[in-house]
């Protein structure tokens, strides 16, 4: 069976373009010339990146970092090194080694962002290359942490899912079939119950880490500066939060974006979005949200993901304080609540035993690979459920779609209803609910469901259950700060006639968490753009009050 072409095959020239002498001259004002000897490391995987190196003379070999340190590309004069980590100074994912004497123009992260904004055409060429290089590293499993554990282990899936949602490369080795993985387990005397382990690029070994521990080990998040005061702190990195970050940062505001798990929110987990303006052939939610995430960083927005906000404290002389789960605090003159919603869970007694391994709340390629040629069950009747069902039908042998209502007509877009009807391996069961789950060792084996009208119960051998049954507002962290919410817990806005502002001046709410919002990606993006005008107006009022 032929393998699909990779970005190395199809877009190599865009990944590794050569700059003309005139283009290099335009870049000189952004950096400084540095010289290296043969064998020197310009950059080491796991160590903070230094932005971008433009090769003036000599050659630099880029090597993957992991179980095999294979050459990826050799940069020659006119080439430039770096990928997306260089925008923020996060740890490098690969090694860069001088082959003979080398002279380079080093452009640090903060100046690299200036290049992208001030040199439009040249910046576009560089930004495209940085993005494609990250895509290639992910596709090829080059760079990033090495996860060692059984492929179907719930914690392995949890860690892979976390890194995938954050657009971070990784490798996964199964000690049952991979001799090198087995050798590592034996060398470090790892007991079976300690798996999975993670080898971080900085040399640290983690035993079944939490997402937060892993994120800090690989440099996704760093210690917060408690003395810095941002113009706006945006809590939530879904479509609304990322849109607000892009527009606010591009207009010169200092912006911090926080999210407890990954960028993209629920939209980022969508297998395909087809009703978003400008994408007639559709786009995966992760691809769309990754573009927004990179765009926000291009304009200077700072990302703290994953970093969970657990409390919003009242006004102080600098504005507001947000307390994080690790007890760090950040300060901002204004706060934008874009925390979205949390996934609704099925009312089933033993559901938690199968979450992470067999029960899923989105359908991405990772879950698609897990259920290839199998029967799966999917619960839900909204657009997210419809998109997931269509995607899973391309992977699974059979998709049982369990719908509580009498039809899909009242809750799903017509184009999805028609597409589901056209799939021969999707069977929609209306007025039907899950009545029981059975399995062992965290792995689902059978699913039972009951028809509410006939009371007939069916049992099927199913190992993967997908739940897309809506969400509840993610507002628990606001409970102590006096923010007004409606009877369902969504944040009430437009207080005092000010669009998107809550009853607390200086605190705004956008996207799915807002009462009365339209639960669509386009609406969330629109609110993210709209709130920036409200932010400017509020900050101007504060500044005026301070000068009186």
CATH number at residue 361: 3.50.50.60
Give the containing element (helix H, strand E) for 243. Answer: helix 239-250
| H-state helical runs in 4-47 | 7-10, 12-15, 21-27
Same domain, 112 and 31: yes
Same domain, 90 and 239: no
Same domain, 126 and 166: no
Say if residue 77 is exposed, middle or buried (CB neighbours under 10 Å; 0-12, 13-18, 19+).
middle
Is residue 118 included in any domain, yes or no?
yes
Is residue 422 included in any domain, yes or no?
yes
Is residue 17 included in any domain, yes or no?
no
Is residue 21 included in any domain, yes or no?
no
Alpha carbons within 13 angstroms on the beta-carbon side of residue 99 total 15
Looking at residue 171, which CATH number applies to its domain? 3.40.30.10
Cα-to-chain-centroid distance, residue 456: 41
Question: ∠ CA 338-237-203 to the nearest 5 degrees?
Answer: 145
Q: Looking at 189, 217, 245, which one is the last position of a domain?
A: 217
Is residue 91 included in any domain, yes or no?
yes
Same domain, 456 and 510: no
Instruction: Please list the residues that pair with 40 across neighbouring strands.
Output: none
Is residue 397 included in any domain, yes or no?
yes
Matching residue, tokens 């639960």: 519
Q: Give me the pLDDT at residue 64, please.
A: 87
The whole domain housing 193 covers 146-217
Same domain, 44 and 78: yes
Q: Give me the pLDDT at residue 407, please.
A: 94
Instruction: Please list the residues that pair with 438 across neighbouring strands.
Output: 446
Looking at residue 36, which CATH number applies to its domain? 2.60.120.10
Q: Give me the pLDDT at residue 315, please.
A: 66
Q: Give me the pLDDT at residue 1, please.
A: 45
Same domain, 307 and 367: no
Angstrom distance (rounded) from CA 294 to CA 99:
31
Q: Give me the pLDDT at residue 3, please.
A: 67
Pairing assessment for the beta strands 457-460 and 443-451 based on DSSP bridges = antiparallel
User: Secondary structure of 437-466 in the HEC alphabet?
Assistant: EEEECCEEEEEEEEECCCCCEEEECCCCEE
Task: Kindly state the tokens that stand for 380.
Answer: 């839900």
| H-state helical runs in 16-94 | 21-27, 85-88
Q: Residue 379: which of 413, 350, 344, 354 has the closest Cα?
A: 344
Contact 503, 492 (CB under 8 A): yes
Q: 3-state DSSP call for residue 267?
A: helix
pLDDT digit of tens for each residue in the chain (548 aa)?
Answer: 456 788 998 999 999 999 999 999 999 999 999 999 999 999 999 998 889 999 999 999 999 876 566 889 999 999 999 999 999 999 999 999 999 999 999 999 999 999 999 999 999 999 999 999 999 999 998 889 999 999 888 899 899 999 999 999 999 999 999 999 999 999 999 998 899 999 999 999 999 999 999 999 999 999 999 899 999 999 999 999 999 999 999 999 999 999 999 999 988 888 888 889 999 998 999 999 999 999 999 999 999 999 999 999 876 567 899 999 999 999 999 999 999 988 889 988 899 999 988 999 989 888 898 899 999 999 999 998 999 999 999 999 999 999 999 999 989 999 999 999 999 999 999 999 999 999 998 899 999 999 999 999 999 999 999 999 988 899 999 988 899 999 999 999 998 889 999 999 999 999 999 999 988 899 999 999 999 999 999 999 998 887 76
Angstrom distance (rounded) from CA 76 to CA 55:
6
Contact 235, 338 (CB under 8 A): yes
Same domain, 357 and 463: yes
Q: Give me the pLDDT at residue 479, please.
A: 87
Give the containing element (helix H, strand E) for 368. Answer: helix 365-370
Contact 495, 320 (CB under 8 A): no
Same domain, 125 and 103: yes
Is residue 18 included in any domain, yes or no?
no
Q: Give me the pLDDT at residue 271, please.
A: 80
Contact 381, 433 (CB under 8 A): no
Alpha carbons within 13 angstroms on the beta-carbon side of residue 297 total 23
Same domain, 385 and 490: no
Cis peptide before 446 (omega within 30 of 0): no
Q: Residue 278: which of 266, 265, 291 has the closest Cα?
A: 291
Task: Kindly state the tokens that stand for 273.
Answer: 């979005």
Same domain, 187 and 104: no
Contact 235, 258 (CB under 8 A): yes
* Tally of domains in the chain: 4
Q: Looking at 469, 487, 514, which one is the last position of a domain?
A: 469
Q: Looking at 469, 504, 535, which one is the last position of a domain?
A: 469
Q: Residue 64: which of 196, 206, 170 has the closest Cα?
A: 170
Contact 101, 77 (CB under 8 A): no
Same domain, 487 and 524: yes
Same domain, 357 and 465: yes
Angstrom distance (rounded) from CA 334 to CA 315:
10
Is residue 34 included in any domain, yes or no?
yes
């Amino acid at each position: 069976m032929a393998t699909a072409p990779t970005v190395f095959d199809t877009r190599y020239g865009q990944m590794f373009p050569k700059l003309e002498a005139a283009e290099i001259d335009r870049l000189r004002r952004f950096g400084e010339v540095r010289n290296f000897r043969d064998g020197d490391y310009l950059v080491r995987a796991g160590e903070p990146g230094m932005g971008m190196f433009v090769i003036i003379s000599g050659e630099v070999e880029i090597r993957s970092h992991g179980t095999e340190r294979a050459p990826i590309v050799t940069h020659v004069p006119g080439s430039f090194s770096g990928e997306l980590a260089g925008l923020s100074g996060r740890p490098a994912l690969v090694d860069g080694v001088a082959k003979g004497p080398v002279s380079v123009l080093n452009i640090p992260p903060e100046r690299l962002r200036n290049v992208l904004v001030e040199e439009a055409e040249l910046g576009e060429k560089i930004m495209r290359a940085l993005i494609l290089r990250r895509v290639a590293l992910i596709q090829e499993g080059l760079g990033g942490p090495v996860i060692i554990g059984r492929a179907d282990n719930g914690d392995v899936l949890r860690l892979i899912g976390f890194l995938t949602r954050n657009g971070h490369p990784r490798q996964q080795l199964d000690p049952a079939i991979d001799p090198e993985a087995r050798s590592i387990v034996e060398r470090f005397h790892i007991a079976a119950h300690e798996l999975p382990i993670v080898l971080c690029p900085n040399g640290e070994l983690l035993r079944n880490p939490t997402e937060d521990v892993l994120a800090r080990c690989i440099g996704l998040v760093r210690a917060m500066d408690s003395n810095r005061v941002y113009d706006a702190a945006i809590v939530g990195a879904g479509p609304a939060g990322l849109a607000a970050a892009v527009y606010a940062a591009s207009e010169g505001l200092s912006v911090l974006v926080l999210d407890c798990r990954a960028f993209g929110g629920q939209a980022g987990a969508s297998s395909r979005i087809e009703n978003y303006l400008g994408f007639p052939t559709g786009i995966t939610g992760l691809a769309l949200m990754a573009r927004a995430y990179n765009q926000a960083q291009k304009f200077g927005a700072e990302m703290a993901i994953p970093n969970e906000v657990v409390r919003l404290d009242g006004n102080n002389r600098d504005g507001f304080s947000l307390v994080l789960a690790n007890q760090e605090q950040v300060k901002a003159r204004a706060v934008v609540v874009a925390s979205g919603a949390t996934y609704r869970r099925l009312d089933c007694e033993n559901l938690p035993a199968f979450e992470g391994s067999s029960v899923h709340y989105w359908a991405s390629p990772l879950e698609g690979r897990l259920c290839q040629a199998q029967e799966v069950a999917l619960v839900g009747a909204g657009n997210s459920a419809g998109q997931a069902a269509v995607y899973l039908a391309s992977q699974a042998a059979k998709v049982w779609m369990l719908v509580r209502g009498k039809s899909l007509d009242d809750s799903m877009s017509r184009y999805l209803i028609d597409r589901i009807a056209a799939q021969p391996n999707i069977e929609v069961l209306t007025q039907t609910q899950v009545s029981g789950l059975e399995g062992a060792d965290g792995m689902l084996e059978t699913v039972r469901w009951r028809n509410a009208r006939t009371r007939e119960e069916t049992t099927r051998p199913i190992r993967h259950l997908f739940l897309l049954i809506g969400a509840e507002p993610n507002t628990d962290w606001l409970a102590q700060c006096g923010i007004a919410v409606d009877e369902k817990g969504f944040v009430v806005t437009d207080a005092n006639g000010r669009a998107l502002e809550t009853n607390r001046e200086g605190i705004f709410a956008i996207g799915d968490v807002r009462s009365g919002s339209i639960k669509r990606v386009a609406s969330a993006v629109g609110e993210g753009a709209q709130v920036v005008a409200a932010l400017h107006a509020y900050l101007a009022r504060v500044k005026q009050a301070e000068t009186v």
